[in-house]
Amino acid sequence: MEYFVIIIGSIFVSNIVLTQFLGICPFLGVSGKLSTSIGMGGAVLFVITIATMFTWLMQHYVLNPLGLEFMQTIVFILVIAALVQMVEIILKKISPSLFQALGVFLPLITTNCAVLGVAILTVQKDFNLLEGVVFAMSNAIGFTLAIVLFAGIREHLDIMDIPKQMKGMPIALLTAGILALAFMGFTGLV
């Protein structure tokens, strides 16, 4: 039951982008087309899950035993950047087609604050490794759900007759706010 609460809570109730406002840059910047938002969501799912595993291990087996908890943020940033670089190198050698598909999104993920935010939240919530991985995957799925929904709405808005002053970012921000309000309807679900 605990894992169910983590999953539903992370995807719908505490959506990382719509309620905690982490990952807003890619949410607004990459959500112009449905295809790019799906690619970004897949890359975020992969990187958040791997990064959370490594940062959890780093926190519990290096930082805590050595009393270096105050170094958490800088160490997590370095771990995430190194992981993204390693994933990029490995994908380039093993699967060039997957590298081509994700290539443009991997560097963007390095600066995605949702990745760092989920890693820090996993430690703050005192999850064990399995709970942390479930939490990370659920948050990434929630991020993907939000960005794909938003991209679909933005593509539809592009073909609608919108006043000139509202075109582009103004209507996107207004739509994001309404989408966030819609997700607030899940509050109290778990």
Contact residues for 4 (Cβ-Cβ < 8 A; gap 6+): 190
CA distance 23 to 113: 5
- In the structure encoding, which two tokens stand for residue 23, read together? 């990952």
What is the reported pLDDT for 102? 66
What is the reported pLDDT for 103? 65
Residues of the chain with pLDDT under 70: 98, 101-104
Question: Helices marked H in the chain — which ranges?
Answer: 2-8, 24-29, 34-58, 64-66, 72-94, 96-102, 105-110, 113-124, 129-158, 169-184
Task: Give pLDDT tens digits for 55-69.
Answer: 999 999 999 999 999
Q: What is the CA radius of gyration of the chain?
A: 17
What is the reported pLDDT for 71? 95
User: Residue 158, Cβ neighbours under 10 Å: how many?
Assistant: 13
CA distance 149 to 37: 9
What is the reported pLDDT for 121? 95
What is the reported pLDDT for 10? 93
- In the structure encoding, which two tokens stand for residue 9, read together? 């809570």
Q: Where are the domains of the chain?
A: 17-172
SS3 104: coil
What is the reported pLDDT for 16? 92
CA distance 144 to 55: 21
At which residue do the structure tokens 């771990």 appear? Answer: 79
Confidence (pTM): 0.88
